[in-house]
Amino acid sequence: MHNTFLLALVVIVAIGFDFTNGFHDTANAVAPSVATGALKPRTAVLLSSVLNVVGALLSLKVAATIASGIVSQGDIILPVVFAGLVGAIAWNVTTWYFAIPSSSSHALIGGVVGAMMAHAGTSSVLWSGIVGKVLAPSIAAPVFALVIAALATTMSRRLTKKSNDATKSWGMRAGQIGSSSLLSIAHGTNDAQKTMGVITLALIANGTLVANSSTPMWVVLLCGIAIGMGTYIGGWRIIRTMGQGFTRLSPTQGFASQITSSAVILTSSHFGMPLSTTYVATGSILGSGIGTKKRSVRWSLAGRVGVAWLITLPCAAMCGVVSFYAAKALGYSLGDVVMGVVLALYCSFIFLRSRRDKIDASNVNDKWGEHDEAFEKPVAKVAAADNELVGV
Amino acid sequence: MAGTVTVSTPLIDWHALWQVLYISAGTSLGLVLLFTIGVYALSAFQHKDTVVLYRGASVLVASLSAAGVLAMVVWGFYYIVNK
């Protein structure tokens, strides 16, 4: 009885995490299209949400990695999964409030690892899996994306130097609709699977599935729908950071960065690597900024985001540890209910605070950092160059 | 004297990372190149001063690049789903 109750609680919170993953990461797929005007904001998030669901149904390799490659399946219990999810949601919502494009995947993995260490010690964590399957791809993939996007942007910019501005602008914006769609599918393929992996882990912990089982179809569908709904809500705060903050995106840059992100994420998903789609998308956008003539990138913002990336895993792990011990002190069933209520209150508080400086579809493309003189000068030049280039 | 050979698995799968790099670099640079060529050809087609033969060739190049982009995307998904 208790197990079924806890399992249901874990599944509900996991779906909640998948939802936050959707709205936190909407920016990865739609920010360049929204920033360049290739798609209207509402159309962009609708298209992305549908294609995230499609992506979620494509592959299960990342889910398998999460379910079997991060922590020891033999030591896992439901409260560990629950505490990990609570930690991940708390971190996701906090970074969303501060408009920081941090990794939902690292928040999830950090939360589960922290809770697992609190429950069964460090030996229950598969450190080789953490380093080999999480950290190494997470460091390498954004660097790959940055370099490839810089090359792609430079190549495309030089090839279309003499072409008709209006045709180029129209063509690249049309291409962005395709590349944004591809990126949404890629995001669904990689990110929805992480929650599928965690629910599979919970089912194994509960004894519903035997170890190393594959993910049931109802889990796949539920996760696909949850991430799609989260995406449709639209994490406008982060869309604004990624679309307007790092660089002034032209249609050529937007197209190159989205194609690069899609290729890196889909290839990594194919090899079962649960990388951060946010880091890849950020790397591509920075790369597309480097690929412009003026190489104009707001590095101060990139640095702040980099710091957030560094602390995501340990902070989510800490949240997982605190959540696990709090639930344990109250008795797992009651404790998990209390932690669920605390989490819901925290999320409501953050949501209400975010209303003070609301960012939505109407102001997502407003000018970034009007008082940031150090950056505005080069941006103004780039903007002028872009306008000349695309005939705006 | 019989002995056992221990094969240690490397902590980081460099081979897989290397594959991710060259497959994603090849795919994205290829797609961007094909699409850019298509846009350039379309731009040349719209130029009013160009001769008919050149305009025809531009349409052909634009069509071929569009087909190339489509083929690469379809192949990519086939590869992901089936391999």
**Considering only CA atoms, which of A20, A66, A68, A55 is closest in space to residue A273?**
A66
Q: How many angstroms separate the CA atoms of A128 and A134, rounded?
A: 9
Per-residue pLDDT for A8 more than 70?
Answer: yes
Tell me if B63 is assigned to some domain.
yes
Q: Which pLDDT does position B6 carry in this prediction?
A: 58
Tell me if B78 is assigned to some domain.
yes
Per-residue pLDDT for A345 more than 50?
Answer: yes
Beta bridge partners, A71, equal: A125
Number of structural domains, chain A?
1
Three-state secondary structure of A217-248 = HHHHHHHHHHHHHHHHHCCHHHHHHHHHHCCC
- For residue B38, with 0-12 CB atoms within 10 Å meaning exposed, 13-18 middle and 19 or more buried, which class applies? buried
Q: Which pLDDT does position A35 carry in this prediction?
A: 92
Q: Work out the average pLDDT over A109-121.
A: 92
Q: Which pLDDT does position A145 carry in this prediction?
A: 95
Residues of A within 8 A of B28 (CB-CB) are 148-149, 152, 256, 259-260, 262-264
Q: Would the CB atoms of A171 and B42 count as touching at under 8 Å?
A: yes
Give the one of B10, B24, B47 whose C-beta lies nearest to A267's C-beta. Answer: B24
Tell me if A91 is assigned to some domain.
yes
Chain centroid offset of residue A42 CA: 19
Tell me if B65 is assigned to some domain.
yes
Q: Which pLDDT does position A319 carry in this prediction?
A: 93
Q: Would the CB atoms of B24 and A159 count as touching at under 8 Å?
A: no
Where in the sequence is the domain holding B56, given as residue range(s)? 29-82
Number of structural domains, chain B?
1
Residues of B within 8 A of A268 (CB-CB) are 20, 24
Where in the sequence is the domain holding A86, given as residue range(s)? 2-136+179-244+312-390
**What ipTM does this complex have?**
0.83
CB pairs under 8 A between A and B: 117
Q: Which pLDDT does position B12 carry in this prediction?
A: 78
Tell me if A160 is assigned to some domain.
no
Cα first-last separation, chain A: 64
Per-residue pLDDT for B3 more than 60?
Answer: no
pLDDT in tens, A45-83: 999 999 999 988 887 777 777 777 788 878 888 999 999
Tell me if A255 is assigned to some domain.
no
Tell me if A300 is assigned to some domain.
no
Q: Work out the average pLDDT over A152-157.
A: 93
Tell me if A214 is assigned to some domain.
yes
Tell me if B14 is assigned to some domain.
no
The DSSP H or E segment spanning B62 is helix B52-82
**Considering only CA atoms, which of A285, A302, A183 is closest in space to residue A243?**
A285
Tell me if B21 is assigned to some domain.
no
Cβ atoms of A64 and A273 within 8 Å: the answer is no
3-state helix, strand and coil shares in percent for chain A, rounded to the nearest 5: 80, 0, 20
Tell me if A106 is assigned to some domain.
yes
pLDDT in tens, A82-102: 999 999 999 999 999 999 999
Residues of A contacting chain B (CB within 8 angstroms): 58-59, 128, 131-132, 136-137, 140-141, 144, 148-149, 151-152, 155-156, 159-160, 163-164, 167-168, 171-172, 175, 178, 182, 189, 255-256, 259-260, 262-264, 266-271, 273
